[in-house]
Amino acid sequence: MAEPLKTLVNGIEVKVPNSIPDIRAALPEERRAEFDRAINDAGVQDIHAVMRHWMLEAVPDPAADALLAKLAADEAERRGVA
The secondary structure of residue 46, as a DSSP letter, is: T
Ranges of residues in the chain whose predicted pLDDT is under 70: 1-3, 81-82
pLDDT at residue 17 in the model: 87
**In the chain, at which residue ranges do the beta strands (DSSP E only) sit?**
5-9, 12-16
What are the extents of the domains in the chain?
5-81
Q: Report d(CA 60, CA 15) in Å as an integer.
A: 9
Q: Report d(CA 52, CA 81) in Å as an integer.
A: 40
pLDDT at residue 80 in the model: 84
The secondary structure of residue 1, as a DSSP letter, is: -
pLDDT at residue 2 in the model: 60
